[in-house]
Structure formats: C-alpha cells, structure tokens
Amino acid sequence: MRSKIKASKDLSLAVAKTVAETAAKHHAEIRLLYRDKVANAKSLMGVVALSYKKGAELILVAEGKDATRATDDVKALL
C-alpha cells in the first residue's frame, strides 16, 4: 500500500516519537520516504533523519496484514 501525504506540520522530536510508537504497534512494515531519504517508521531516529518541513510531500509505504490501519494511523500524525 502506497499513499502520498502532504505534511501538515514541521517534523519535531515529538512528532517522530508518536509516529515511531504508533508504527511499532502494527505488524505491517512501514516506510516513509521524503526526497532521497527513506525511513523505517518504527525507528525514531530513522524518522528524525527525514527532517522535513510543513508542506513536504511524503510517501508512506505499508505492507502486511494490518497495512490499511497502519497507514491511516500514521497518516493522521503527519
């Protein structure tokens, strides 16, 4: 599952933390892409490394049995 997201706020440590925590609750593997960077959404530092700003075009790729729910949950945080 692949979806495009326009970031509604700057990436902060707090955002990265909730993203990693939420992603970790799902079985699905979740990747976040921004420009030439890729992060495992379950990894706090990985998400921080994306260092995007409000309005950035992100791509979320999720695969696994709960991919749809995982996508919705993570999407709501960005």
Nearer Cβ to other proteins (38/75): 38
**From the CB of 64, what's the least distance to other proteins, in Å?**
8
Q: Interior CA angle at 35 toward 59 and 69, to 5°? A: 15
**Which CB atom, from 61 or from 75, has the smaller least distance to other proteins?**
61
CB of 76 to other proteins, least distance (A): 20
3-state secondary structure the chain: CEEEEECCCCCCHHHHHHHHHHHHCCCCEEEEEECCEEEECCCHHHHHHHCCCCCCEEEEEEECCCHHHHHHHHHCCC
Contacting residues toward other proteins, per CB under 8 A: 24, 29, 31, 33, 35-40, 42-46, 48-49, 51, 59, 61, 63
Residue 63 Cβ, how far from other proteins at the closest point, in Å?
Answer: 5
